[in-house]
Each structure stands twice: as C-alpha cells, then as structure tokens.
Structure 1
C-alpha cells in the first residue's frame, strides 16, 4: 500500500511534523483539514455506494507524515477520558491506470516540502528490484528514506539511493572525482540517472558497490581510530581528514588491482561481483593511494580536498598505480 510513497516517516523533529502536531494540540476553531494537505491515494478503479468508496490497487503516495503524526498524537492521549477528536482529514483519490500520470501525481504531491532528487526516483521499477535483491542478501536499500531506520535495521547495512549512486559512479565508471565533488548532480539529469541505474548493470554489481564502500568505511574507521598503524601520516593529512574523503578513489583502485586493468569497462566489474577485498589489499592500496596523492598535490601546492576532486587527479593515480599486487 505504501510502496509508492517516496519517503517513510521523517520523525517528530522535522519542521512540517512539528507544525502538524501544533495544529492538533491547539484549541483553535479551524478544522484540521483546512491547514493540512492531507492524504493522496492512487487507485486503478473506484466505485461509490452510499458513503462507502471501494478502491482497487490502492497506493498511498503522499500523507505518511500526516498519518504518523496523528497516530502518535492519539496514542499519547489514550488515557485521556475527555478525548474528543471530531476533526476531518482531507483525502484525495486519483483514479488512473496511466504510469506517466501516476508519476506526475507522485512528483506534484511531494513538492510541498523539500524532496531530494533521489527520492523522486524511488518508485522506478529498478529501484524496487534493487531493494528486493538487497533484502534477500540482508542489506537494506533505503529506497524510501528512513524506512529501514524506522524499522530498526542495522545502520551500517542501510544504503541510500545517493550513496549507491556515488558507489557505482566511482567503482563501475571510475569517476570518484564526481562521486566526491558532485554527488547530488548524479541524479538530477535524466541521462546521468539512467547511466547509473540501468538494466545493463546486474543487481549483483550494485550489491558489490554498496558492500565494498561500506566495508571500506569500516576499515578506514578502524585504521584512523587505531593508535598504532603502519602508515606514516604527515601534518597535512591529519588536519584535512583526507583518508575518509579518498574512500571512493580507494574503491576504484581496488577494482583496478583485482582486474589488473587501468581502463576496465563496466562489464569487467561483473566478473568480480562476488569478491570480498582482503584487509591486506585494502591497507596496501590505501598506503599507495596516500603516496600518489602526496605526489599529485605537493608539487602543485594545492590543498588535498581540492586536488582529489579534479579529473586530472583520477588520471594521475590510474596512470601511476602499480598493478603487480600479490
């Protein structure tokens, strides 16, 4: 019923939900539905008999913030014997079988509050396919923002749409500079979106990208929190916290190392879809990446966080990375 709602409940601290709660708690003579956009339902067919409306193929595409806020308001007042809530909620029912019309209704009804571009793609068939595939492997693709967080799933196994897009851009298309510097632009243009989320890319590759980047996050977090490690970090690195911002470049170089190809193609990544990169390979590649980064930024006298966002930096590390790993 809620699969086509682009977001899950965003929590009581979100501004719009605070306003709904304030309206519910006020003693004003205004009816609730005068101030609230209510609920939008899509249906393939509707029939009316008296005061009963029968609907087929129901999809609630807008109104989760309203319904959840009302639910919590009522639940917190269950012990109130004087509870009298004779107020109305506006429900708009749109009957259509046209996919294009459905998508336009979803987009229009969700422009009342800021929606990231990624969320407006949440109902695409490929997004549903990725979510189901991840779920079968005990990973949680947060197609509807906050859904898996709200259901108590393990946070380090939750993957957002933008995060997956960044991972694919870095690993499959070896463009970590774009993944790092312009993550939001990946999903804004239709052509860019279709390049990242394409039937030509297998679901296994999407999982590889997400799993790899999450594992790198964990490895880098353990490395930076360790008091003793084998890598020498100079002052420039300590102040810039650059090890974390090199994460997408590191993901790309790991694929280069495994494939032994600097100019690998997206189809090449398919051949390593089930691989898990060893901690030894991750640490050795990280050490080499740090050295390559120093070799790039120091002669040019540019800050690390600026240098790594340049396309020339990606070209430099690909040309100079060693391929004879053990």
Structure 2
C-alpha cells in the first residue's frame, strides 16, 4: 500500500480489532467493509459478519442486508421484523475491495457480474456457505414482496487504494451493467460508487473523531439550572440551519447521530405523512414549530458564541422522525420553516438516560429499546470495569452504543454489545445456543424473567461474554475454521459448561479460578479444539446438515451429554 496515511489508518483499525496477524489483503477487506457500512448503518455492528471472502465468493468481499433498520444475518429474522412491524424496508449493500492502486474495469465488471448472479433465481457458479446464507435472506425478502414498503434499494461499492478520476470507459461499462439490473424491476434505486483512498481516509476519520458542528441559533433561551446539567437551552431554529447539524460532508443524513434514539425512523407512518404534508403545503411550513413536539439534543460540550452555538459530541435523542422527514424534503424547505430545538449539555449518563426515557414515550417502542437503561445493566457495566485491571484479556460492557469510542485503553475488540451479551448468556447459562439465529430483541422477549434479574450473579454474564469474545478473537485469526463460525454459540455453551464444572468446589463454580484459566492462551485453545471436535462428531452421529444443526435442540442435547462424559472422565 503506497498511501502511508491510509496504511496507518488500516493499521490502527487492525490494532483496534486485534487482527494484526491477518494477511494485508484480508485486513484491508475488513477495513473497507467497516468504513463503507459505517456510513450506511448508524449502530454498532460486527464487521466480521459482513465478510464473505475466502473463495467461491462470486467477486464479493462484504455484504450487508439491512431490514427495518437492522443488519440481518439469518433468514428467520425477516419473518420476525415483518410480524413486529407489519411491513419491510430493505436495503442491500455489496462491497468489493482491492489493494490495487488503480481502478480496473475488468474487476469492476466481474463485481457487477457477481451482483447479477446473486439476484438471479439460481446461481450459475459455485457459492460459498456465506453467500448461500445471504441468498436465503434475499429469497425470504422477495417472497414477502407484497409487504415491502417499496422495492429494496441496492448500493454497490468498489473500493481501491488508488484515486478515482471517473474514466469515461469505466463509467460507460458500469452504466450498461446497471441498466440490466434496473430492468429486472427488483430495486427502487441502484447506486454505484467507486471509493478511493481519499474517501476511505475521510470516512475513517469521521468514525474515529468526535462530531463538532456550529450553527446560527439567535433565538435560543437559557433554561433554569438543573442538577447534573451544565447548561441547557431551547429556541426556535431554522429548519435549513438544523439540517447542518444532521448532515455529513457529502450532504447525506448522518445516521450515527440517532443511535440513542430508541425508536429509529419508522418510515411511512401517519405522523410522518402529516409532517410531510405540512412541509409540502408551502405556506404551511411555518406551522411545523407549532404542531411538532420538537427535537432534543444532548451534547457533551456546548459553546455559545454570539448568535451561534457550537456543539461537540452530540446526539439527537428525540426527533428522529422529524429529522428524517425534514431531510427528505430539504429541497423545498423555506426560510420560514422552523423547529423547536432543545439542547442539553451533560456528561452524566444517568441524566442522558432520563432524557431519553422522558422524550420517547409518545409512540410504541421496541421491546428491547429501554432494556440497557435499567439499573441491572449499569451494575453489569461496573462489574466489567472492575474486572478489567485483573484480566489479561479485559472486556467492557457497552450499555449505550459507542459509549467507549475514543476512550483510551479500550479497543473495539474488547467491547461487548447488548446483543452479544444477550446471545452469550442465553447460549451459555440458559443452554439455548440453537436459538441465537433469531433477532436479539426476540430472544430477550422470549426469555423475559430469566435474565437481567436483580438476583443474578454478574459472574455468569461476564464469563459467557468473555468466552464469546475469546472465541471471536480466535475466529478472526483463523484458528477457528470459517465453516465452524456458525457454531460459535455452541462453542460458547460447551466451554462455559466445561469451565463451571471443572473449576467447582462443593458444587459451585469458582469464577476467579475460571477467569485465570481462560486467560491461559495455550490451554484455552486446547479446550476450544476439543469443543470443535465434539461439534463435528455430533454432526456425523446425527447425520444432520450444518444449517439445520445450528437450530436443532437435538444437537445441543447431544453435546451436553458428551460434555458430561468428558468432564467425568477428566475428574477420574
């Protein structure tokens, strides 16, 4: 890689995610996937799950299928979102990345051929297990096409370390290929982008740096003093000026500003249609400030400079719906269009939680939306922090998305999200690894009353997550085969049960001893290898295919029996 700055960014990414040992091209693929999807998807996501390289990948290196605002990894999740929301909103993102310093027309055509093959009814070429699983998701979506709000969007990204200068011959080839895709009638829109070194650097800077914006806000008024709040303001802000807060350098909606907004964008709801009609009514735009509940922003730093205000590290915690509709109507906004904006400066997470709860009660929210705001999760977070100093491989529980971004000493690979915590605990402690293919909100709802209870021991959650984290690290480094990746929660289950039985006194696990044991790299790898062998042998005995096996309780039961025998033999 000739671009030294880009190389340093890629190295930083590799260090943050503990993948330094991977081949340079593999690291770059993951870096490209992370950068591209970070612009498409505002929440935390497992970039490793986007990777589909490694042969029989039909010229695809990364794929993200986003359904109703969530990256989907299993086809069953489509049915869940349809049941819960009544309709589907879908976008497909495909990425091909090359270390080559030039954009190659033949490689781009090969990438587009892979896209056309993926959206064909039957593949004309061999496909990897990853691609087959993605095809199942795609088929589940189009089988429910009557429930689509509109046809899915298709975003294509060809990434290179060179400089994109839009050569006419490549643009002509792309235009011709996209016309063929468009004529299939499968998509509401198709967008193709060549992402070069400068664009990659710009995106990565945005993901790593704090958001700082300055806007004209002459009408703001200070609110009374509030405990835990440094200062707060409310005022009538121009809608055009507000757009500056929520758009990025490309003029696109900066979706990561809404990660604390628990409701997400709900699409074509009656409330959003009403806002849209008001904006399109011309002279009625001035009524937005009266009829709308307003928008709430929480910032870690607020500076008032004459008629301007400067916000640092801020989030839109209420007003996601209004913000999206304003953005969609940005071309027709008039000078008389205003919204009521409330700004709160605080670094107190409890204040932020209270504001989020208070300002998001107007409409129904998802079952998991407020889960991590409860006291039990705060206690878990503190327990993780307390353990960090004593662990060779520390982990940190992230109650609020991206709360550890920019925190010295905490790497991305050490952070456990709410989704990962739920799936790790359900796999290990509730013995349900076969259920983890479902959306984590559905898993949480079906196990309500069995987890995140005040009487629960924090050690169980921590151990389950620590094992999951170590398994994922080994998977990234190639120690665990890609085909075994889909059984990672079965491995979590096996390792958890092994350690709590082997390191037990008077029938109770000694967690301090277990923590030290899983930090011993060679020993841990040996236990993982034994667990992998158990999974492979169980599949052979049951004569069951791998996709079915991951969802089968019969496999879990057999693994449990074999584990008990192994532990008994070891104790003898």
Q: Same fold (TM over 0.5)?
A: yes
Q: Structure 2 matches for 1:1-326, cutoff 5 A?
A: 10-11=255-256, 16=265, 30-31=285-286, 32-33=288-289, 37-39=293-295, 62-63=317-318, 65=320, 87-89=338-340, 108-109=361-362, 111=364, 116-136=366-386, 137=388, 139-149=395-405, 154-181=411-438, 183-189=440-446, 192-224=447-479, 241-260=482-501, 268=509, 270=511, 274-277=515-518, 278-321=520-563, 322-323=566-567, 324=569
Report the alpha carbon displacement of residue 312 of structure 1 after superposing the two structures with TM.
1.1
Distance in 2 (alpha carbons) for counterparts of 1:38 and 1:18: 18
SS at match of 2:436: helix
- CA 1:184–1:86 in 2, change beyond 3 Å: closer, same or farther? closer
Q: How many residues align?
A: 259
TM-score (norm 2): 0.37
Tell me the alpha carbon deviations over residues 260-306 of structure 1, each in whole angstroms, 9 at most, x when there is no partner. Answer: 46xx9x96475656344133344333333333333333354432121
- CA 1:140–1:279 in 2, change beyond 3 Å: closer, same or farther? closer
Residue 219 of structure 1 contacts residue 279 of structure 1 at CA under 8 Å; is this kept in 2?
no
The higher relative CO (CA closer than 8 Å, separation ≥ 6) is in: 1
Deviating above 6 A after TM superposition, structure 1's stretches of 4 or more consecutive aligned residues are 17-20, 66-69
Residue 10 of structure 1 contacts residue 65 of structure 1 at CA under 8 Å; is this kept in 2?
no
Distance in 1 (alpha carbons) for counterparts of 2:533 and 2:457: 34
Distance in 2 (alpha carbons) for counterparts of 1:117 and 1:68: 23
Residue 33 of structure 1 contacts residue 90 of structure 1 at CA under 8 Å; is this kept in 2?
no
Structure 2 residue ranges without an equivalent (≥5): 1-227, 230-253, 298-314, 325-334, 343-354, 389-393
2:346 aligns to what?
none
More strand by share: 2
1:228 aligns to what?
none
Distance in 2 (alpha carbons) for counterparts of 1:243 and 1:316: 17
TM-score (norm 1): 0.60
Query: Cα RMSD (Å) of the superposition?
Result: 4.9
Residue 495 of structure 2 contacts residue 528 of structure 2 at CA under 8 Å; is this kept in 1?
no
Tell me the alpha carbon deviations over residues 231-277 of structure 1, each in whole angstroms, 9 at most, x when there is no partner. Answer: xxxxxxx7xx432222122122223333446xx9x964756563441
SS at match of 2:498: helix
